[in-house]
Structure 1
């Protein structure tokens, strides 16, 4: 080349014509946009309606402003907490992405190499590439030779060889990752050096086009669907309860007046009663709505987001956590997620079939020969007795020899690199004598071996029987997806292009594999026990994929299926749906296979997760109900994902599922607690007129119960710990109700018992006799008010555990103790200072004993219910 790259003037013209290499970011939501989205929550909408009704009544002088402020604060806190958490995490994520755009590369400008930011490259620029560089643009290789890792783009683990394009080669319209001249942004140089010319930059590159395809997919999360259903039910219950109470109050007033005609004769009294009944009805409607629920969801999500960071999980979208807990089906990558993501030498086998698990265990003569072969017989750079860089196999060998160094090293005088025709490399060395070190495919080199080295360093005859036994061992290893590399020696230097076909001695066979992560095996078992189907998707050949899947615990039963990409392509969607429950592995997978599998699974109404790290994975990550992007993956994949697995480990995915289930269980506990109170409050106020009780709970008391028990309880249940037992539960149905039969029975039982205690307080002569007599029955009223609050607190301990041990893991949620203790203390102070405003008076010791016994009775009742469900309903 007489000229390399562009001049500054040509670069400016190219910038004006084609633009620079910066990628247009997909539309990002502002804080205000996210806030508006959170106001679309169905429970929040109900609260807004309740707030508006309260504002009207406060303005008319018929309602208390405290409840109005309480609802307003609940709405603001719930929406702002969730928005702030999501927005701050999104900002942290965007900062990570911005770092990627600051990467610099070496570009030729005005005839000399300069460092430019990746975003500043333009069409026509000549970019210098070296081992380890990431290809910054789409373009042609002009000089040198390269081996590229293109897995981020096409999912193929096999390295692609690239060579210089001829001067008349033109860039085609079609994308062809296998083209030997074309380089694509996102690939990584694993070997070689070269010079490329930029042809497509920024959004015009294949990488950029995929970024622009990452549009939001509208699909409600499972929790959002369940909350919509719950909001509808609560609305119906609240309106029905309010209407019935309105009618009941007026019927009670009419009965006291002596009949319909006498009642309507006093118009002023009727209007007053209607207004009072209407106020009570509205308050009951408002009370039926658990305004603490959105706040509680925001709190529990935010708390768990911080905990998840400690487990290497970065949550970009709040609904990604709870959706992870609802997964039915998880499609996962193999490399780096289930496996360690790097090759390791797992065994060393000598010619006499002796095996050594580590380099340090090798006999000294064998160790020295193996070390020389690794360090001298390589095309990678060697510094201070260690390989620097190299391809994935050479890096595995470097890790294998570790810090071992041989003091007296021979000198290399010849070297023939590995090529696909001979399937070996060899180096001639000069030490105390001349000899040759060979390294390559066992099926090729073993044919040339007539001898083998034993553990004492003796060169012994390598018989056909020994070769046969070694062949059988290698077949066994191949069945476990283990690659093998033979190390051999020849007693003379070889100066030709090929090795002699006899007279060589076998040093040993290196067994190399991308090992399954031990923690991933355990995590896969846990996820299986959680009822989540796992499907491993890999670009590896079928035999390798099956071996890894067996070791990881994915393939265990005869009916479980393994598909290749070709087999999947040949199946109709209906056939895929029929066989999907039995699928465990997809080998030789293509990027579109992931997208198709996610779409088909969602048509089956399954909550689907997808892991990915490459640009090619991004559409499937975006389409899935929850996308798990790998921390080491491309920026595009992370942009598409809901959750980023920072350490690429399947164990972290399992933790995300656990935290999702923790959030769901915490929400269910809060709903059970809150609806028990709401149900009892509506029921008590409904039946009170029919049993001759004027005001079992005053409006101010109801407001106090609603405000304090709702909002503070949200804080109490928000800190519940992540318990491994949640991984034993079956996934919840996507469209199923959030209130299960078990929850409903607890809600009804708790509500009925609290109502029964209310009736006992107001109608039982025995209970009345235990309290001091007063003209207005102030002590009895105070006793019931306290007993009601304390019963609610005791029921909080009931619903937070499934068993009878109410203090199970209580120290893991100290906030629960603090909140419930605070409610009890405040209630006690109200009896001292509430006076006529709250209709309370100080109680005696005997009266407090009655209150406490009545409150604790709900523990016995619910405990018996738990025993009945656990033992008699099995």
Structure 2
């Protein structure tokens, strides 16, 4: 008789060993996320510029309008970013709070009682029954149970546990501990049997607790953040150098205008200071235009927009940066159970004694199979046809039967039964006129020599043919069960001589049909997929071949033991060819993510169990399954609500679309910036002076940043993005091809600028009209360049109908530009232009399109 702990023992053990609570990290507040958003490298540059411009404005040589614009932009970006993440986290935690607190049954003071799981202490004697979730780590001391360990080791196969007389003070965790005879772990589920366990570890000391503690480490920086830091450094350098050149050029121009250095230095100090500050203000204005302050706003808006779009497609984005990171994946470590496979056993095939699927066409076989399954099971069917009890195999068999047939033979009485046992490997039920059998094929075939055909005739069995079929299925890790019947009465532990085979069913946790296609598409996108599973090596190999992971002789499959015998250096060497890790431990997953990141690979992890959570958190992007554990979902970046691997492929496409849209925006921005810096630097030396005013520069800046971000941020997802190679973690966001495009367009706009400003052919009569015309030329070249950067194809209208925002915004820019020249007057220093003047400007500006087409053709051949 088990008495359990006394009340005094409970208090002492709780004080000595701690409670049974799994502590989770508190949610980050809006204020914390808002402050963290200011770590964005572009935001830091913008704040620096705002400070400098504020000083100049306070001295009376600048305006606060641009400063206010920058500050509003910064606050808007940080607010949107923080709000999006806090809202997602709040919705998730609301769902979690609705869940009922878990309880368990224990013996204390000689009585059985129900307590909250958090109140369990070390040495508690816990009563376990079918369906219970195990509340602590320990050993079985009474009874016999079957346990589902899949939430910890990913293995769906039920694990048999028997009582042990030994007393353990410590559970040594190895690849096989989860499936040993007596060890039990928190979070796993009892699927059959009953017993009593002794708790040896509670709370944070359990395997689940160790995983939760492991997840407390900080996340690595996202690839996007690394790339933006690199871009920010490049832009800063470009801007500062440009500002210095412009400042020098403008001051030299002032010196030349007054007749030389001698005349300049004798000017009044106030005049000199004013001239210097005006030059400084202009150089800073150019730098402000060069810095893409619209980039963080664009990223925030596009991520928020895609977050909503993905949610409608059953993809919950918990951390918005996870979308972009998904597009940069180099390697994806995937849990098998529930991700690649369906996560539960099911019948995937039926064949009769003639290796034919005759169940659909034969009423004889259909009826007999219904009796063999429905009358020979531990499952109970309630009034609503819900399946209650039974093990995973019994449930899979019942689900194989059509629902309309579940109660068809309720009037058939069960006279006698023999439960399944491992020694005889079959179970049986004696009915009114026959006895039905279910068991291992080799057991039933040892007695059966006949089978029933689809027409109801009894025919001789070809056992060699059947055994060959079974061997083929075994090589694919498919379990086969045989069914038969006899007209004799049931004799315990004895199969009858007149046993007739009804048929065979094939059972497996099968691969999702859509997962095969999705895995192929992800691998074709250059992403290496590695399956990590708790299954034995043979099962893992069979599943990986079925889903298309194992194809070549060079593909590598390792077990956890083999992996742990290898050094980090050896693992890194074999990693490019690695496809499967079997019998995996939670630490294996975290280690693989760490090593992949050390190789500068952008790493993803999918999973649903507690065992996946540390790796989900460590990975650059973690995909948790919607049906998975709360722990996995809480640490993930993206939750796949429909458990569909296909959605991971969609997330990668979304990520690549966002990344490409960012590139388009950068090309759109920087190609014009090159021209602006070049014209303002070179202009004073060739008699051009300063062709653009401060207000005009601010309008161009609005076009290039805010409006450009909105126009290009809505670009559609092109399937060709999945043909691109993934980007490495340290790869610059600006590629060689981008540099060529930026310099080509920037140079051409610069040439157009000097042609327009210096050529007599484009003389508009007076300086006001000339400078107004140049202002319009600059804006129109930017508009036409927007069409150039949309696609590397020659077709500028490629799927343009899917981005109506682009058409609308570019049209609005042109309309506003026309209105500014007509009504801008003093504010924008503009005058109205004639139709002929507009025609000349339009023809000159549109040349940017054929120039870039030539560039596209040349770079396509060269690269």
- Conserved 8 A contact 2:2-2:110: no
CA shift, 1:246, in A, is 1.0
Q: Which residue of 2 is the match for residue 715 of structure 1?
A: 710
CA shift, 1:680, in A, is 1.3
Q: Are positions 1:396 and 2:392 aligned together?
A: no
Deviation per residue, 1:139-185 (Å, 9 max, x gap): 5657654321112123333322345566x957646565456555432
Q: Which residue of 2 is the match for residue 319 of structure 1?
A: 321
Q: Which residue of 2 is the match for residue 249 of structure 1?
A: 250
Determine helix, strand or coil for the equivalent of 2:342. strand
Q: Which residue of 1 is the match for residue 307 of structure 2?
A: 305
Determine helix, strand or coil for the equivalent of 2:423. coil
Q: Are positions 1:224 and 2:213 aligned together?
A: no
- Conserved 8 A contact 2:117-2:135: yes
Determine helix, strand or coil for the equivalent of 2:692. coil
CA shift, 1:738, in A, is 0.5
Q: Which residue of 2 is the match for residue 290 of structure 1?
A: 292
CA shift, 1:720, in A, is 2.2
Determine helix, strand or coil for the equivalent of 2:427. strand
Q: Which residue of 1 is the match for residue 188 of structure 2?
A: 187
For the residues of structure 1 that align with 2:607 and 2:644, how far apart are their CA atoms?
12
For the residues of structure 2 that align with 1:498 and 1:382, how far apart are their CA atoms?
29
| TM-align CA RMSD | 2.8
Q: Are positions 1:608 and 2:603 aligned together?
A: yes
Q: Which residue of 1 is the match for residue 91 of structure 2?
A: 92
Q: Which residue of 2 is the match for residue 873 of structure 1?
A: 862
Q: Are positions 1:520 and 2:515 aligned together?
A: yes
Note the residue ranges of structure 2 that are not aligned, 5 or more in a row: none
Q: Are positions 1:277 and 2:272 aligned together?
A: no
Determine helix, strand or coil for the equivalent of 1:341. coil
Q: 1:189 to 1:223 in 2, by over 3 A?
A: same
Select which of 679, 684, 707 maps to 1:684: 679
Q: Which residue of 2 is the match for residue 426 of structure 1?
A: 428
CA shift, 1:407, in A, is 4.4
For the residues of structure 1 that align with 2:25 and 2:687, how far apart are their CA atoms?
65
For the residues of structure 1 that align with 2:809 and 2:519, how far apart are their CA atoms?
37
Select which of 763, 771, 775 maps to 1:781: 771
Moved more, 679-688 or 318-327: 318-327
Select which of 628, 638, 661 maps to 2:656: 661
Moved more, 506-515 or 168-177: 168-177
Q: 1:575 to 1:109 in 2, by over 3 A?
A: closer
Moved more, 196-205 or 553-562: 196-205
For the residues of structure 2 that align with 1:144 and 1:29, how far apart are their CA atoms?
45
How do 1:337-352 residues align onto structure 2 when only pairs under 5 Å count?
337-352=339-354
Q: 1:267 to 1:20 in 2, by over 3 A?
A: same
How do 1:536-547 residues align onto structure 2 when only pairs under 5 Å count?
536-547=531-542
Q: How many residues matched? A: 856
For the residues of structure 1 that align with 2:707 and 2:207, how far apart are their CA atoms?
52
Q: 1:110 to 1:570 in 2, by over 3 A?
A: closer
Q: 1:719 to 1:132 in 2, by over 3 A?
A: farther
Q: 1:320 to 1:180 in 2, by over 3 A?
A: same
Determine helix, strand or coil for the equivalent of 2:581. strand
- Conserved 8 A contact 2:153-2:533: no
Select which of 623, 627, 639 maps to 2:622: 627
For the residues of structure 2 that align with 1:79 and 1:537, how far apart are their CA atoms?
37
CA shift, 1:675, in A, is 0.8
CA shift, 1:194, in A, is 5.0
CA shift, 1:497, in A, is 2.9
- Conserved 8 A contact 1:314-1:646: yes
Determine helix, strand or coil for the equivalent of 1:737. coil
How do 1:371-770 residues align onto structure 2 when only pairs under 5 Å count?
371-383=370-382, 387-405=387-405, 406-407=408-409, 409-430=411-432, 433=433, 435-462=434-461, 466-500=462-496, 502-768=497-763
CA shift, 1:850, in A, is 2.4
Determine helix, strand or coil for the equivalent of 1:314. strand
Determine helix, strand or coil for the equivalent of 2:305. helix
- Conserved 8 A contact 2:37-2:78: yes
For the residues of structure 1 that align with 2:107 and 2:709, how far apart are their CA atoms?
61
Moved more, 234-243 or 601-610: 601-610
- Conserved 8 A contact 2:141-2:164: yes
Note the residue ranges of structure 1 that are not aligned, 5 or more in a row: none
CA shift, 1:840, in A, is 0.7
For the residues of structure 2 that align with 1:339 and 1:74, how far apart are their CA atoms?
46
Moved more, 311-320 or 263-272: 263-272
- Conserved 8 A contact 1:155-1:590: no
Deviation per residue, 1:468-499 (Å, 9 max, x gap): 11111222222222211111112212232342
For the residues of structure 1 that align with 2:679 and 2:189, how far apart are their CA atoms?
70
For the residues of structure 2 that align with 1:519 and 1:712, how far apart are their CA atoms?
40
CA shift, 1:625, in A, is 2.2
For the residues of structure 1 that align with 2:205 and 2:141, how far apart are their CA atoms?
21
Q: Which residue of 1 is the match for residue 212 of structure 2?
A: 211
For the residues of structure 1 that align with 2:99 and 2:409, how far apart are their CA atoms?
43
Determine helix, strand or coil for the equivalent of 2:846. helix
- Conserved 8 A contact 1:353-1:470: yes
CA shift, 1:378, in A, is 1.3
How do 1:841-852 residues align onto structure 2 when only pairs under 5 Å count?
841-852=831-842
Determine helix, strand or coil for the equivalent of 1:510. strand
Select which of 329, 332, 352 maps to 1:330: 332
Q: 1:115 to 1:844 in 2, by over 3 A?
A: farther
Determine helix, strand or coil for the equivalent of 1:448. coil
Deviation per residue, 1:388-410 (Å, 9 max, x gap): 34222222212211224234753
For the residues of structure 2 that align with 1:218 and 1:397, how far apart are their CA atoms?
44
CA shift, 1:285, in A, is 2.3
Determine helix, strand or coil for the equivalent of 1:340. coil
For the residues of structure 2 that align with 1:550 and 1:161, how far apart are their CA atoms?
28
Determine helix, strand or coil for the equivalent of 1:730. coil
Q: 1:141 to 1:200 in 2, by over 3 A?
A: same
For the residues of structure 2 that align with 1:282 and 1:853, how far apart are their CA atoms?
32
Q: Which residue of 2 is the match for residue 47 of structure 1?
A: 46
How do 1:359-374 residues align onto structure 2 when only pairs under 5 Å count?
359=359, 361-374=360-373
TM normalised by structure 2 equals 0.93
For the residues of structure 2 that align with 1:510 and 1:404, how far apart are their CA atoms?
20
- Conserved 8 A contact 1:150-1:159: yes
For the residues of structure 2 that align with 1:594 and 1:742, how far apart are their CA atoms?
37
CA shift, 1:236, in A, is 1.0
Determine helix, strand or coil for the equivalent of 2:715. coil
Q: Which residue of 2 is the match for residue 29 of structure 1?
A: 28
